[in-house]
Structure formats: C-alpha cells, structure tokens
Structure 1
Amino acid sequence: MTIDTTLLVTGGAILFLIVLSFFFSGTETGMTAASRARLHALSAGGDTRARHVEQLIERKDRLVSALLIGNNLVNILASALATSLLLTIFGDAGVIYATIGMTVLLVIFSEILPKSWALARPEQFALFVSPFARFIVFLFGPLSILANGAVRGLLRVFGINLSSDTSLLSAHDELRGTLEVLHREGAFIKADRDRVGGLLDLAELEVSDIMVHRTSIRAVDGDAPPATVVAEVLRSPYTRIPVWRGSIDNIVGVIHAKDLLRALHEVQHDFSRIDIMKVASKPWFVPDTTSLQDQLNAFLRRKAHIAIVVDEYGEVEGLVTLEDIIEEIVGEIADEHDIDMQGVRQQPDGSVIVDGTVPIRDLNRALDWNLPDDEAVTVAGLVIHEAQTIPEEKQAFTFHGKRFVVLKRERNRIVRLRVKST
C-alpha cells in the first residue's frame, strides 16, 4: 500500500470515527432528555421504536455507560490516528497540529452539534438513533455492567450508596417541577398549575389542614324547640348542619335541609310534630390526621358529604366536607347561597389586609405567595409560630420576605393583619 493510499485510508477512518462520536454524544443527550410521557404515548400508539427507547431508558445507567465507553473508544482512536497521520506529514510538529485539529473537530462535530440537535428535538432524535443505541448496549453491555459495579464500589468507599432503584425525586416532586417549568415558560396558566398542584397535595395534607374549626361551625341545639331549629337551618348558607346536645363537643347528628323540608311537608308544616333527632342522620367522625386523599376516597365510597373531625382524645376539632376537599383542587367554589367572606383585601399601597383565620394555602394560591404551611394552618398561626409569642396590636414582624403588622387582637386571638412584601 502506497503512502498516499495509507493517508487516504487513515483520513477516512478518522472521519468515520468522528461520525460515530457524533452518534454517541447525540444518543446520550437525546435518550436522557426525551420525555418519558411522550414516549409512553407513542409506544401505546404502536410505535415500536418508542417501545425500544422506553426499554433502554429503564436501565439508564447501563445505557449511559455503554455510550460513554463507545464514545471514549472512538475519540481516543480518532485522536491516535490523527496524531500518527500528522506525525508522518509534519514530523514532531504533527502532535501540536493533531491536538488542535482534533479538539476543534471533536468539540464542534462530536459534542456541540449533536447535543444541540438532540436537545432541540429529544424524542425525534431518540427514535432515530434507537437501533444504534440498542446495538451499542448489546455490544458494550457487559463492559458497562463491570464499569457500573466499579463506580458503585468506589462511591461506597466515600460513604455514597448509589442505588439504581432509588430516584432522587419522587414522582410527585418531578410532576411539581414540570408544572413550575411549564408555568414559567407560559405553557401553563396559574389556575391550571394550582389545580394540578392541589391534586398532588391531597396525599400530603390532612383534614386538620382544611377543616372548618369548631369555633366557626354553624350548628343547632338538638334540645331547642323545633321551630328554632328550623329557623336556624333556613338562615344557614349550608345544606348540612351538625346537631349538638349539651355542648358542641357532643355532636349527635347532622340535619340535611332537604330532609327537614320533607319532614315539614309530611306534618303539614306543624313544627311541634317534628322530632329533630329522627330527621337527623348519624354523624360520621374521622381522625384529624386522615390524609385528604384517603378522606376523599372515603367520601366517595360512603356517598357522604360531611364528616366531624376529632383529635386523638375524641374531642371535636371541626368538620370537613367533600366541597372543602374539591376546593383544594379547583379553587374556591361559590354559589348563590355562599356568604362572601372578605378575608383578603388588597390595598392601594400594595399591602394586603388579611383576617387571621385565612388559611395560608388559600393566601398563597390567591396571591401566588410561598409562605410555609408546615407549622401553622392560618396566617395568625404562622405569625404566632414565628414570633414565639402572642403579639400585641401594632407589633410588626418580618419573615419569609413579608412584613406582618398586627392590626387587631381580641384576647389571645389575632383578628386582622397587614401583610406587605419587603
């Protein structure tokens, strides 16, 4: 073989290796950046390549290791051939020329170009290179297993246990992150983000986080005259009213307005002939630690709409309704009988007047704030928790990027606050 032929063959081999490096780099980026949801949809629609990509991504560590092994092999071989070729042509100076030339070629054609292309269209690129990826995993699979084992062993030496079955983010966390990204990019409006986020929150929230507190429960005295009970029920904006005897801690039933109207109709509207306890249904008591997801499922299973919330000692804490849980998903639901509770009022100076009983979650959702609700449910509770005392009127606090000023206090209860961003 002549020198010219040798140079031509070597140059062709280098070009071929650079093309292989292009595929290795692009495949790694495309496979890792592809949306698993879109791939699943394509696979469910009968796309065989999408199914193959899904199978490869399930063992992402093996896939990436095989691609890295192959990529490094072709890059090193291409650099060695280029060095040999240029040494033949330019002598010792060929080392410098080979280093500069291969760096430029590999960075542009084997790194920036394929990865930019793959990031621009990750799913399409992943589908295109899926046969190549399957072949590489088959070829270098055993080596990648050995490499991964060595890596895990080295990491254990430094106290890092890298489990292939453990994800750094839960499925819920990944969905939340996706929602935030889509919202920031304008693909999701705030209302849609809040609805999906509310659905994800059901498993993390407890009924005590959204219940109507016992001090705000609209209930009737079962020992009161029937006419008084009927009047109370008719004045109430709610369809279902708890019935108590002796004290609010002794809830003995729940009256449905329709059942009461039927009972009145049967006795020709003679209040004296109504037995309130016969009209009332048996109350349903649930622990305050029940998750909203479990409570929603229980409501649907029992075909019920209201439950009385009790603490670990069996004392009444409040009540929760099916509507309360649904509102955590879709936002506030108002009908023609709801009382408009002016708990949040925007001020011209940019501050907000907030009732102390307003839930932190509702305030965050309404104003797109991010106040923590781990230690307290209401705004007043948050201020007391942060201040570690019950503040006086006109006392001000700054935390979590907001300035809170206590406007009104009744006994040990914070009634109203002014909140402004700092």
Structure 2
Amino acid sequence: LQSINDKPFITQFLVFSSNSETLFGFEPKHGWILNADKKFRLYISGFNLQNNSIAFSALQDECTSNDFISPIYNLSSASIIELDVHLQRVSKVHSSIFLCLIPSIEISLNNSLLQNGTQLKGPYFTFFREKTTLPLAAKICLVLMLFVFSGFFSGLNLGLMSLSVDDLRLLAESDDSSMRYYAKRVLPLRKRGNFLLCSIVLANVLSNSLGTVLLDSIVHGLFAVIGSTVMIVLLGEIIPQAICSRYGLVIGAHTHLLTWGSMIVTGIISYPLGFILNKILGQEVTASYTRDQITRMLTKINADIEKPELDVITGILSLRKNTVREAMTLLPDVYMLDKDRKTDAELLLDVHKHGYSRIPVYSNERSNIIGIVKLRDFALITPEQYHLTVKHVLEFHNHPYGHAKATDSLYDLMQEFLKGINTIEHNKKLPRFLNGKTRLA
C-alpha cells in the first residue's frame, strides 16, 4: 500500500502469539487463524497512523462501539507499532472478527457510538477463530490419557516383542496354570509379529502426536515443548518399559483385547506395512542354542532344578563333546579280578561289597584284560564250587564286549552301551601309559 495525501495506510500487518514466539496461521481466503487464547500481539507499520486508533468488531461492515469485542487501541507514530490485543468475547464457534480503523477525532470522551469508523477489507485484516468445545479439565484429562496410552504401547512393544514364539509355546504347555493362561492369550498376537509391531508403533506415535498437539492448546511455546518432552520420556518410555521388561507377559495377557483393538483400528496401515516387512525380511527367525549355551543357561539361571538333576542334564549335554579319554578311570583305581583267583566266600563278599555290575578280568598284568564277568554270575555259586576260579566263570558265561578308542565320543559309546555291548577301552596301538598312569574305561 502507498500513502496518498494524509490518509492512513497500513503496509505491514502481522499477528503473533502473546509471547511473540509463534506466527499465527493464515488462510488467503479467510484470514488469520486465532487459537483458543483470546490474547495475541500485533505488529503494524504504515503511513499517517499516529492520529488513529483500531478496534475489533464482531459484525461485518459495522464499526460502532456496541459491536467492539476489544478495547480501542491508539496507534503511535513509531515505524513499527506493537500492540497487545485482548479479545473480550466471541459468541460463535467459528466467529469472524474484523479490524476497524478509527480516526481519533471520532472518539468521544465517553466512548459513545462511533459511526465514522472504517472497517478494513480483505483477509489480511480479518480474523476467525474456533472456540474450544472442551473445558480445561477435560483437556488435561485427555492429555494424560493419551500419554498413558503412549506408555502402554511403548511397554507392549518391549514386553511382547521380546517374547519369542517358541518361548510362548513352551509356556503354553508348562505345568504352571498361570503361565499357560498368559501364554495362550499372548501367543496368537505374537505369531503376527510384524503386523503387531507396526500396530503398536503406529498407535504409540499417534498417541504421542495427539497428546503433544492437545498440550500445545493448553500451554504454548517453551512450556509446551518441556511438558510434552517430560510426559513422553517419563509416562511414555521409561516407566512403562521398566515395568513391561519384567512383567510383559502378564500385562500383555490382561490387555490382549486392547491390543487386538489397536490392531483393528490401525490395520488399514499397519497390516500392509507388516505384510511388506514379511516379504522383505521373511519369517521371524527363532532363537536357537548350542549345547554349551544351554549348559551355561542351566548353571547360571536360578532354575527350579536340584543339583543332582542338573548334573545329569549337563552330563548328557556334554556327551557328544567329551571323549572316552576324559571319562576313563585310572587303571590302579579300577576294581578287577585275577583270572586265577578262587571263587570262594571271600571273593563273593568282596564282589558284592564293591557292587559293580561288570568287572574286568585280567591275566598276569592288570593291563592285560581278557574279558568281563557280571555280578550276577556269582549269584549261583555254592560252597561246593569254591574251588573254581574266575577264569571258569568267565569261560562259562563268555560275555561279549567291545573296544573303544580314547578319542571316541562318549555319545557314540553310550549308543553302544544301549545296544547291550560291554565296551572296554583297549587299543594296543595307544601308549600303555597316559600321563604316567594307565587308564581303563
């Protein structure tokens, strides 16, 4: 706009929030968009404005004091005029507000009717605002509820996605009725891994966004940023994840209907995203463990397993890795019988005292094993047969036995035992002494 003679003209007209931090939105067809706050700040510059005043009218083409919804503000001669405006009343939900330019000579001492004010035309001098339909208490409750939902979905993201499908299947078949109940509620959700993940993340982001926008309508500027950050970090991340990392299964089971609901609501977006992830990444890879990892898990965790049971389990798991050399007994410590020993009462008592089911028999030297006898072989010996020797018992029963190398796996050796073959480590190609002492399986 240009100045013509002494007529007032406005060249710049900007509307900011009351703290001058935010420029109000502007629609070219309608004008400036005012928020729920009735206060804002104007920055005006132009020509010949010092002898004029402005006011805001609720009616189009009407610039009388009866129609004003704000005080009358006098304009100064400054190059940029700054005014803090306070609207007093707005009667409609979508209410248009118009700017009136009033010559100072038209303002009477008692602010009576002002008939000669000029209403400035165009969207740059027109305002409209949406009057809030929610009371402040309702807004605060809604903000808290949205951030609680954000925390709920954030916790579920950690609690549910950290549970593998295999773990849930094991829990669903466990003896603990509570764990079975929880696992059966969560397993159908967890099977839809990427769909569930997309739904939870989308619901979490949506809750955060809505909560932040609504909080901004209550407080503005820096307070809104600090408030939303604190709410998201505390209610939306730290607290729920700390809880769900420990009780994710329990919480997920009790809220499975709410989770299904979020998947249905966000399904139009989350299902296609999950489908694409399935095609790109493939099916979810289940966790697998080696024997060593399982052994360490059993020994480290506080499992409900007694030490004897644990020893049996860990021993079985280590069979394939361990060799015969590691399980052999020192030859001097092996209970064995000389083939020429009499089967008298002393021998029978000695055999039953040791209680071994299979006893090696040697000839001349302990390293020269010629066979084995079983404990039950001596059960039917009578005093009249005390003159017999161990060799007679050995030759009479002639129990078969096999041979094993010191490097053979204990697992393979166990399979031989299961077949009923009595196996002795007896490889003549090996050195007679191992670490200074001969060993016998």
Normalising by structure 1, report the TM-score. 0.54
Q: CA deviation at 1:16?
A: 4.1
Pairing 1:269–2:386 present: yes
Q: Percent identity?
A: 21
Confirm whether residue 30 of structure 1 aligns to residue 159 of structure 2.
yes
Q: Are 1:56 and 2:189 an aligned pair?
A: yes
Aligned pair count reads 297
What is the 5 A alignment of 1:261-410? 261-262=379-380, 264-265=381-382, 268-271=385-388, 274=392, 276-288=394-406, 291-293=409-411, 295-296=413-414, 298-299=416-417, 301-302=418-419, 306-309=422-425
After the TM superposition, which residues 8-407 of structure 1 pair with which residues of structure 2 at under 5 Å, given as runs? 14-32=143-161, 36=168, 37-41=170-174, 50-58=183-191, 60=193, 63-83=196-216, 85-86=217-218, 94-137=220-263, 139=267, 140-147=270-277, 164-165=284-285, 167=287, 169-170=289-290, 173-174=293-294, 176-177=296-297, 179-182=299-302, 193-194=310-311, 196-213=313-330, 216-220=333-337, 224-225=339-340, 227=342, 235=350, 237=354, 238-244=356-362, 251-262=369-380, 264-265=381-382, 268-271=385-388, 274=392, 276-288=394-406, 291-293=409-411, 295-296=413-414, 298-299=416-417, 301-302=418-419, 306-309=422-425
Tell me the CA shift for residue 199 of structure 1: 4.5
Partners of 1:220 and 1:240 lie apart in 2 by 11
| Bigger fraction of residues in helix | 1
Instruction: Provide the alpha-carbon RMSD of the alignment.
Output: 4.6
Contact 2:323 2:409 (8 Å CA) reproduced: yes
Report the equivalent of 1:352: none
Alpha-carbon shift at residue 124 of structure 1 (Å): 2.0
State the shift of 1:255 in Å. Answer: 0.7
Q: Secondary structure, in 3 states, of the residue corresponding to 2:228?
A: helix
Q: Are the counterparts in 2 of residues 251 and 283 from structure 1 also a CA contact under 8 Å?
A: no
Could you tell me how far apart the structure 1 residues matched to 2:365 and 2:259 are?
71
Give the whole-Å Cα distance in 1 for the aligned partners of 2:178 and 2:415.
32
CA distance in 1, matches of 2:151, 2:177: 30
- 3-state SS of the aligned residue for 1:127? helix
In structure 2, how many angstroms separate the alpha carbons of the residues matched to 1:261 and 1:190?
35
Structure 1: which 5+ runs fail to align?
153-161, 319-356, 358-380, 382-411, 415-422
What CA distance in whole angstroms lies between the structure 2 residues aligned with 1:220 and 1:42? Answer: 49
Distance 1:190 1:257 in 2: 30
Cα distance, 1:99 vs structure 2: 1.6
Deviations 1:63-110 (A, max 9, x none): 445423432333234324434x25xx6xxxx23222211111122222
Inter-partner Cα distance in structure 1 for 2:324 and 2:424: 10
Name the one with the larger strand percent. Answer: 2
Cα 1:297–1:56 change in 2 (3 A) is farther
Q: Which residue of 2 aligns with 1:3?
A: 131
For the 8 Å contact 1:309–1:317, the answer to whether it is kept is no
The higher radius of gyration belongs to 2
Instruction: For residues 119-151 of structure 1, give each alpha carbon's deviation from its aligned partner in whole angstroms, at most 9, with x where no partner exists.
Output: 44333212112223344456224313435767x
Instruction: Tell me the secondary structure at the aligned position of residue 284 of structure 1.
Output: strand
Distance in 1, Cα, partners of 2:257 & 2:175: 17
Counterpart residue type for residue 67 of structure 1: I
**Residue segments in structure 2 that go unaligned for 5+ positions in a row:** 1-92, 94-129
> Tell me, what secondary structure is at the counterpart of 1:274?
helix
Assess if the C-alpha contact under 8 Å between 1:233 and 1:241 holds in 2.
Answer: no
With the length of structure 2 as denominator, give the TM-score of the two structures: 0.52
